[in-house]
A and B are shown apart, each in its own frame.
Chain A
Amino acid sequence: MSALGKGIIFTHFTDAQGITGITGVQAGALIVGQPMSVQKLTFDYGNNSYLAEKLGDLFVTDLGINANARELDSIGVFGDKQNFVIQFSQETAFKQVPSVRPILVRPHIYTFPGGTTLQGSLLIQRVR
């Protein structure tokens, strides 16, 4: 079992603005390759991804932090959005109240509602 909990480890790739908006941690405080635990994630609504259950839904992947740029390109994560990651487990998501249920859209792409808050075992990291 991962330190993040049981089940699939979901990763949300984002940029410096995203990591600060979701976690409150300034991007400059993160060192490449050094994970940091956080207590809470507050996701906003997605604004550029539409083929989800509802407009504004967000996306995570089961590709890990070692995914290369080409793999991330293939799931629609480009440029600066490849620089920072937020990670949580299926167990953490499923235990939330209200529940968070990332739903498979296609291989390596899962969707969950915009505006979601998550608490528990959560990790953030600068990967590039």
Chain B
Amino acid sequence: MEDTELALLVEGLNNDSPKKQMEAMNTIINTVDQVLGRNLWLDYPFNSHGFASVYEKVMLTLKIDDRSQFELVDFNTDPMHTEASSTEETSIKKSLVLITQAIQALAKAPDPYFIAERLPALGSIIIPPLEKLIETTERIDSKTLAALVLLQLGSDKGVAWLKHIIDIGGHYSSLAANSLATKGFQEVGDNILNYLRKCDLQEGDKLIAMITALEKLDIPLPEDIHQKLNLPEAPLGVQLILAHPLQRAKF
């Protein structure tokens, strides 16, 4: 990849236009897909076939001897400027450069939401650098989005942070609560109940999301919280949800 082409992609990733960010992400996803095959990566670590075929392809071309050392690949260096011995090696290194840029955009872009929205399509190869990002970044939105992407990819490294976000009712707390509930993290019920006990009654959308997450976990609303929410001054949506409990699909 030419330096100018890479520079344009990086500019797109870090742009404040969601459209430019998504276009850059789509280019990266398509490029990585052609080299590594993203569908196989999505199954890590649960699909041994995917792990063996794709990880070993990267390990062999980058001359990594031990599978456990894969996490030691430094995503923050620029492997394009090291010597490549084959076309395949060059392609894989190019993919790693692009993945690195996408992760860095999650950490640095003015609004990284649309970067995060596309990241899971890169598959489990992004798990190690995202887990590293969670440990190092001080940006709350980047950390929360990274934790949500990790959850989708099967890593629970960001679960403790997501529970904290629910506790404080921070950005993406509604999505965090429902994503954790959908994945069956039963213990998140305590965080949701704590939030509901201290929340402002006018936080209508968040209240609906939290009540829905509790319903997914089959945790009934305690009487004190039900009384707090079931008031005429509560938002209409909250009154509606209390009147129409979650009806699940029957299988």
Contacts and interface: CB of A to CB of B under 8 A. Distances in A.
Interface of A: 6-8, 49-55, 73-76, 78, 90-91, 94-99, 101, 103-106, 110-111
Contacts of B145: 51
A105 B212 contact: no
Interface stretch (B55-63, B88-96, B175-183, B222-230): B175-183
Given A7-B236, A73-B19, A94-B241, A105 B175 contact: yes
B95 to A, nearest CB: 19
B172 to A, nearest CB: 7
A50 B118 contact: yes
A104 B117 contact: no
B113 A103 contact: no
A90 B116 contact: no
Top-5 shortest CB links A-B: A51-B117, A104-B205, A98-B249, A50-B120, A94-B244
Given A6-B236, A7-B236, A50-B121, A104 B179 contact: no
Contact of B17 (A54, A73, A95, A104): A73
The SS class assigned to the B binding surface is: helix
Nearest to B149: A51
B203 to A, nearest CB: 10
Nearest to B173: A104
Interface string B131-172: 000000000000001001100100000000000000000011
B174 interface: yes
A76 B247 contact: no
A99 B246 CA distance: 6
Contacts of B149: 51
A128 to B, nearest CB: 17
A103 B215 CA distance: 13
Contacts of B119: 50-51
A96 B244 CA distance: 9
Contacts of B120: 50-51, 55
